[in-house]
Structure 1
């Protein structure tokens, strides 16, 4: 019995080590491209033109980042991205939370059909409505404005679906107890149920901010004036025709510069993302 038990323990330890090795290997495989991009961004463009393997040895430089900061409009582009991404995130959370509560908790005629119509929005690509949207925004003179950049993103069927499912998972006994205390529907939503959905809201907020920050297609079409460029469009506008070869370090520095805020945001809110995915309430 003792030998069998020892063999079982050794087998489990070996299996755990194999799993740990595979996890480390996969982690390195995912981190390697990021490290490669950071390394390229710290090298002189002339050295990279001669030999890209120079990334593995010094000297390193922050000239590429200084060139980005030296662009006169870069801080305006960052401000534009923050306004657009922040505004879109806030309004999406408000609308998705209200819609999710309505679909999950209220009974009204046509609720199920309307919910299906909302979900069908997931199957409609932005490109299918691009021309119509562009014409409508042109007639309303919304182009080159913040609300022109924010409004298209407010149609967020995934956010409505996520919040609806999260509200449905909350026991209805909480609503009934609050109703017995003469609480209104809005009070129940605002003070009882909404605080319980913080993990889902954090997850939706992160993904909405991430999508909006990285969005290039609509800002490129709607924001045609330089002062209304978002960071992604502004960074692309500084690239030369030969950026892939002559300005590789500068190109990689742009990628790091544009992606750093998203990484920082994720590090702050990763607890809520993991919690929402696992379905465990935040303590």
Structure 2
């Protein structure tokens, strides 16, 4: 057997193909159902690949004002958390990775302890804090908890530490200040890591259901995940499974778009981690 067709390579390719199919088939089935008429779905008629197909399920989404409000809420909350996490993690990462100050290692270790604490273990305390502040059913309550990102601080700290000292020393010789060195010299070098962190943060925030379920009790403050879950009680029997699948497809589109836009930076970040 030639070197191009070793048994291990064939087995690895087959395993990868099975894993890809296992991930893609549910998504393709959801898309398939979202394009089928509700009449056929509700009467359990045989679904032939040849059709019929319709865009009526998606047209109904644009007439659902509550759904559009939930969609905008999720965009606002996720976007604000991405901006906040990138800003705070970059500043903290630069401080922990490039600066020297008393207690730096102790503080950094304390921050990393947050990686070992499940979010569910602090949910009751968080609820009491926001209740005392009367911040429930507000964007502040939905956004602020997500700004605590120990993983983001860790990622940016290690990214800044990996940068060569030469570029920083050259900037200092040219008269750059500490913040100027961070903003103009080092921060642009971390764009791939920031893109990966931004995607990760957006994905966590967009799919978050647990905290919005506790904090947002008014329908106008629901995020998309909470709103869709609240609307699914007997939803398939009343409105139609096709509309429900169309909502699922629409909910996944922002994540797909963000990934496509920043795919090049993510590949660079992963490649850099593997090489290091």
Q: Normalising by structure 1, what TM-score?
A: 0.88
Q: Distance in 2 between matches of 1:62 and 1:272?
A: 34
Aligned residues: 271
3, 24, 32: which one aligns with 1:12:
3
**Residue 106 of structure 1: CA displacement?**
1.0
CA 245–165 in structure 1, closer or farther in 2 if over 3 Å, else same? farther
Contact 1:143 1:223 (C-alpha < 8 Å) held by counterparts: yes
191, 204, 211: which one aligns with 1:211:
204
Cα RMSD, aligned residues only: 2.3
Q: Distance in 1 between matches of 2:193 and 2:240?
A: 41
Partner residue, 1:175: 168
Contact 2:57 2:246 (C-alpha < 8 Å) held by counterparts: yes
**Residue 130 of structure 1: CA displacement?**
1.1
Which stretch has the larger CA shift, 169-178 or 11-20?
11-20
Q: Distance in 1 between matches of 2:115 and 2:236?
A: 35
Map residues 32-43 of structure 1 onto 2, 5 A cutoff: 32-43=25-36
Q: Distance in 1 between matches of 2:87 and 2:13?
A: 43
Contact 2:41 2:242 (C-alpha < 8 Å) held by counterparts: yes
CA 49–74 in structure 1, closer or farther in 2 if over 3 Å, else same? closer
Instruction: Specify the SS of the correspondent of 1:257.
Output: helix
**Residue 195 of structure 1: CA displacement?**
0.3
Q: Distance in 2 between matches of 1:172 and 1:235?
A: 50
**Residue 108 of structure 1: CA displacement?**
1.3
Structure 1 stretches of 4+ with a deviation exceeding 6 A read none
Map residues 1-283 of structure 1 onto 2, 5 A cutoff: 11-15=2-6, 18=10, 22=14, 23-51=16-44, 53-54=46-47, 56-241=49-234, 243=236, 247-279=240-272
Instruction: Specify the SS of the correspondent of 1:58.
Output: coil
Output one character per residue of 1:195-243: Cα deviation in whole Å (capped at 9) or x when no partner.
0000000110111111111111111211211211112222222223363
* Runs of 5+ consecutive residues of structure 2 not aligned to the other structure: none
* Runs of 5+ consecutive residues of structure 1 not aligned to the other structure: 1-9
Which stretch has the larger CA shift, 200-209 or 40-49?
40-49
**Residue 50 of structure 1: CA displacement?**
3.9
Instruction: Specify the SS of the correspondent of 1:54.
Output: coil
Contact 2:31 2:245 (C-alpha < 8 Å) held by counterparts: yes
Q: Distance in 1 between matches of 2:222 and 2:49?
A: 35
Contact 2:85 2:152 (C-alpha < 8 Å) held by counterparts: yes
Q: Distance in 2 between matches of 1:190 and 1:61?
A: 51
